[in-house]
Chain A
């Protein structure tokens, strides 16, 4: 039951992009086309789930050694290595998937959502399963927002936007409306 609550909370209520403001850069950067948004989403779900499992073990290890202050450095390095490793692995095992995800994988290292999930997991003292579920559902929330946003932006291409609002400005206004819509979910679940 608690796992379900974590899932719903991370996807709808505390949506990563629209209410926690994590991963705004890829949200604005790769949402111009539907294809790239889907590719990025799959890569993010994969990496975040894997990294939240890995960082849970590391966090336990660091705490048991009394090195809690090293978490930031260790997490960011592990995420960078993990992304590199995933890239090699996919390249070897499934070239077609690599073709699709290739360009998005290196970008994930600098996605603050990945480090954000790891830090939230360690702050909330989640157990192993809770960490993995939280990571997975946060990434699903991110993907949902990204894909909805990409669909809106594809339609916006054909609309007549005032000159100063072209580009980033109108995207941010759109995101604010989307965020307003997601606020309707607040209060749905209390953790």
Chain B
């Protein structure tokens, strides 16, 4: 049972981007359209799952004091592999994402999961955690990318459906990234606040009964 929880918690409840606010740099830079966001998300899932596996396998051999440099080297090796693979097979995407693929190394999501989860748990749990957290991150990127592409370019995944007059170009530019991200976080906060309020009222009602 615990296994399934490791997979699902990252998707919404502990979403790395919207709830924990980790890995914001690529989230703002690579979400100019849904396709780029998805590409970045898939790259992060791949690196996260692979590095979680290796870190969880070697967790008992690594001396506690130098664990962080070792984790960085593991993550950097996988990032290099993904970078070279993307260069070879998805050249256009590689060109658009630019330095943000190498910069996955310093993405706090990876280091955070290595430190908080993979270095303490077994291999299977770590794989599930990697898929869940990576999936949650990719989902968040995809949502942001979709919103920015629909509002800014009037298209979704390359299919354009809005006439020129409805396009708000600002959403593709840097300020649009900050606005979209800020409003999404505010919406999630508002939902959580309402949930808390309802729960409190329920408790009150229960007490008076």
Contacts and interface: CB of A to CB of B under 8 A. Distances in A.
Q: What secondary structure prevails in chain A residues at the interface with B?
A: helix
Given A19-B174, A77-B72, A110 B108 contact: yes
Which of B25, B183, B185, B189: most chain A Cβ within 10 A? B25
Contacts of B73: 73, 77
Interface stretch (B35-43, B79-87, B145-153): B79-87
Nearest to A29: B21
B193 A163 contact: yes
A78 to B, nearest CB: 11
A20 B174 CA distance: 8
Given A25-B108, A164-B193, A172 B185 contact: yes
B183 A169 contact: yes
Contacts of A163: 189-190, 193
Given A21-B174, A69-B84, A168 B21 contact: yes
Given A110-B108, A172-B182, A72 B80 contact: yes
A69 B83 CA distance: 9
Contacts of B84: 69
Contact of A111 (B106, B176, B185): B106
Given A21-B28, A76-B105, 17 more contacts: A18-B174, A22-B29, A28-B21, A72-B76, A72-B105, A76-B76, A77-B72, A77-B76, A110-B106, A110-B108, A111-B106, A165-B189, A173-B178, A175-B182, A176-B177, A177-B175, A179-B178
Interface of B: 21, 24-26, 28-29, 69, 72-73, 76-77, 79-80, 83-84, 99, 102-103, 105-108, 111, 170, 173-179, 181-183, 185-187, 189-190, 193
